[in-house]
Amino acid sequence: MTYAAATFRNESDMALRMPPWLGAGRAETSEDLAFLSGAALAHLHLVLAQGALPHALLRARLALRAAENCVAHAGRPERAGELRDVVVFLPPGHQPGPAGEVYLSWRRAVERPLSARALPRALPNTEPPRIAAWLDAGQGAPIRRAASALQAVLEDSPGAEATALLIADAVLARALGWSHLMPLLSLGLKRRDLRKTGEELRLACHRAVAEATREAAREAAELGQRAARLHAVAPKLRARGAEEAVRLFLTRDAVAPTALTSLRSGRAARRFCDRLVALGAARELTGRDTFRLYGV
């Protein structure tokens, strides 16, 4: 490795590392909360500007966590592993059930560039004019807008916490000028926060964003390292269709061998996944002997 390459890597690592003072102590006033959430968002903006970061994979991983939180808010028992199974192994033409629908909504929401036309795909049971009205419900700074949108959805549709959080994160991303929705409020807001309104809700959103950006930055740093490892071993993967298979691993939270159609056969796909695990470029996510899932 040349000196220039090493310097670039170190500078990239520094950009991904959250300043320690952002997590030090507890904000006591509304001014503290607003400052910390703004600083955290500014740092995350720099993280997301890293060209080597697997952006689609980061959004997919955070979407799973957002779905898990939303399902927990609804009092359901499904957790990340169960949500993965429901959606990844869903037979064509079948419905995934309430928890699976929540996860599908988040997956669809983060896959495509953010727009009023794209969101109805993530929320197929909600009329597009209603979604557009919610997106424009707030004014002012980004978190204020997001909190207003969150409150508007919950006032219009009591009990629609998952929809409200998805809309709020969409409003936040749009206000920040991001091209894609990034789950943040859905990661940081607690169930009790969703019963708040007005200033109390805005403060809860500031606190949630300050916490969630730290989680997102940590995940980005880890995925950046794992993606670098996958790129490093890619030349050793000489199977026909390996390039397309690697692309799937860099965009999906979990990959079933059956999804690796470019490898031509189920046996080849399983061997490919086991090879990635042996090379330290992927993990088996289920701990099962059959119906296994793999991810970076």
94 DSSP 8-state letter: -
pLDDT tens-place string over residues 100-116: 999 999 999 999 999 98
Whether the pLDDT of residue 3 is over 70: the answer is no
Angle of CA points 86, 82, 64, to nearest 5°? 85
Give every CB contact of residue 73 below 8 A, 6+ residues apart in sequence: 161, 162, 191, 194
Strand, coil or helix: 295: strand
Give every CB contact of residue 274 below 8 A, 6+ residues apart in sequence: none
Residue 208, H or E segment: helix 198-233
226 DSSP 8-state letter: H
- Per-residue confidence (pLDDT) for residue 25, from 0 to 100: 56
- Per-residue confidence (pLDDT) for residue 51, from 0 to 100: 83
Grade residue 54 by pLDDT with cuts at 50, 70 and 90: very high
**Distance between CA atoms of residues 42 and 263, nearest Å:** 41
Give every CB contact of residue 212 below 8 A, 6+ residues apart in sequence: 183, 184, 185, 187, 188
Whether the pLDDT of residue 11 is over 50: the answer is no
Residue with tokens 């080597």: 52
Angle of CA points 50, 105, 218, to nearest 5°? 30
pTM value is 0.92
- Per-residue confidence (pLDDT) for residue 27, from 0 to 100: 65
Whether the pLDDT of residue 176 is over 70: the answer is yes
**Distance between CA atoms of residues 188 and 190, nearest Å:** 6
Whether the pLDDT of residue 274 is over 60: the answer is yes
What residue type is 263 in one-letter code? L
Q: What is the full DSSP assignment across 248-262?
A: HHTT-S-B-GGG-GG
Q: Are the C-beta atoms of 279 and 236 separated by less than 8 Å?
A: yes
Sign of torsion over alpha carbons 86, 122, 226, 213 = negative
Whether the pLDDT of residue 8 is over 70: the answer is no
Angle of CA points 99, 105, 109, to nearest 5°? 150
Strand, coil or helix: 284: strand
Whether the pLDDT of residue 264 is over 80: the answer is yes
Whether the pLDDT of residue 57 is over 50: the answer is yes
Angle, helices 3-16/198-233, rounded to nearest 10 degrees: 160
What residue type is 167 in one-letter code? I
Give every CB contact of residue 65 below 8 A, 6+ residues apart in sequence: 80, 183, 187, 215
**Distance between CA atoms of residues 166 and 143, nearest Å:** 14
Lowest mean pLDDT, pick from 58-67, 116-125, 142-151: 116-125
Give every CB contact of residue 282 below 8 A, 6+ residues apart in sequence: 230, 249, 273, 276, 294, 295, 296
